[in-house]
Amino acid sequence: MKDKLTKSEEEWKQDLTPEQYNVTRLHGTEPAFSGQYYSHKGSGTYLCVCCANPLFQSEHKFDSGTGWPSFTKPVETESIGSVHDDSYGMRRTEVTCSTCDAHLGHVFDDGPLPTGQRYCINSAALRFKEESP
């Protein structure tokens, strides 16, 4: 496992766009169907926008119809963390980056087989690294 990355709020604000900061550091969300990776079809790896930790592979991405990029599983279980989230009157499981604690989105138990998981992730929390030919 990588060492934890910590920065001051000012450093995060300098390194991230306002939307990235709002989503990853303030636990915000982007509007449904608006993110750059919602319908993205490239082959490669989705990384944490804050620290470049590899999070999800394109081969595990699917169209959930929810308006956010959805994945069936992370690159490695250790790549992400989870926290119970009772905000907005709902019981959910928040997904975070294990390296920098960035808020990524939520995971639900209504995904396709074989995992049955739907990692519903904000595009603003991701950057994409294209697979080399």
Question: What pLDDT was estimated at residue 3?
Answer: 81
Instruction: Give domain status of residue 126, yes or no.
Output: yes
Domain residues for the domain of 99 are 9-130
CATH number at residue 84: 2.170.150.20
Entry pTM? 0.93
Please, which residues bridge with residue 70 across strands?
62, 120
Catalytic residues: 120
Which residues have a Cβ under 8 Å from the Cβ of 127 and sit 6 or more positions away? 46, 47, 48, 49, 52
Instruction: Give domain status of residue 2, yes or no.
Output: no
Query: 3-state DSSP call for residue 84?
Result: strand
Proportion of the chain above pLDDT 90, given as a percent: 86
pLDDT of 39 above 80: yes
Whole-number average pLDDT of the chain: 94
52-102, pLDDT tens digit by residue? Answer: 999 999 999 999 999 999 999 999 999 999 988 787 777 889 999 999 999
Number of domains in the chain: 1
